[in-house]
């Protein structure tokens, strides 16, 4: 019985009953190389094999799918052992938000005390008009 969304048969039915074609040789090669952490791309007249996430300089080309598979297996076997990735630790915050606010309040209080002292000194230095 077809599904309501895409019209395909229920997953419990066999592929031959649904009319789905078997996977192509390229799909099989892609699945095999993916298991080896490699990628394969189909270009006009050739195939490009590379490490997953590899640079363009490490990519290699082959003319047939069989050559691409052999090349991918060889590249995976020759791949240098990956060193353990360096985990960068996040720098801890220097101060918490509470400490920052406390510092700002204290600085403001010191400025106000200094201002009051300056005003008191200026008032004391002023001659009296009386």
Q: How many domains does the chain have?
A: 1
Mean of pLDDT values over 104-125: 96
Instruction: Evaluate whether residue 42 is within a structural domain.
Output: yes
How many CB atoms are closer than 10 A to CB 127?
5
pLDDT in tens, 16-64: 556 667 888 889 999 999 998 899 999 999 999 998 888 888 899 999 9
Instruction: Evaluate whether residue 34 is within a structural domain.
Output: yes
Mean of pLDDT values over 82-93: 74
End-to-end Cα, the chain, rounded Å: 109
List the domain range (segments joined by +) for residue 69.
Answer: 15-78
Instruction: Evaluate whether residue 35 is within a structural domain.
Output: yes
Letter string b/e over residues 103-119, b meaning 16 or more CB atoms within 10 A of that residue's CB: eeeeeeeeeeeeeeeee
Q: Which residue has the higher pLDDT, 8 or 91?
A: 91
- In angstroms, the Cα distances linking 11 to 3, 4, 22, 47, 102 are 9, 13, 15, 32, 63
What is the value of pTM for the model shown?
Answer: 0.48
Instruction: Evaluate whether residue 52 is within a structural domain.
Output: yes
* Closest C-alpha to 33, from 45, 22, 44, 25: 25
């Amino acid at each position: 019985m077809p599904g309501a969304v895409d019209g395909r048969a229920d997953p419990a039915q066999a592929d031959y009953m649904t009319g789905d074609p078997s996977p192509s040789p390229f799909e099989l090669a892609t699945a095999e190389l993916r298991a080896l952490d490699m990628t394969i791309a189909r270009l006009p007249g050739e195939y490009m094999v590379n490490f997953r996430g590899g640079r363009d300089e490490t990519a290699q080309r082959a003319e047939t799918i069989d050559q691409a598979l052999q090349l991918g297996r060889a590249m995976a076997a020759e791949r240098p052992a990956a060193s353990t990735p360096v985990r960068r630790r996040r720098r801890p915050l220097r101060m918490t938000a509470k400490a920052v606010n406390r510092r700002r309040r204290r600085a403001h209080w010191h400025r106000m005390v200094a201002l009051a002292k300056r005003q008191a000194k200026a008032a004391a230095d002023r001659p009296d008009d009386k």
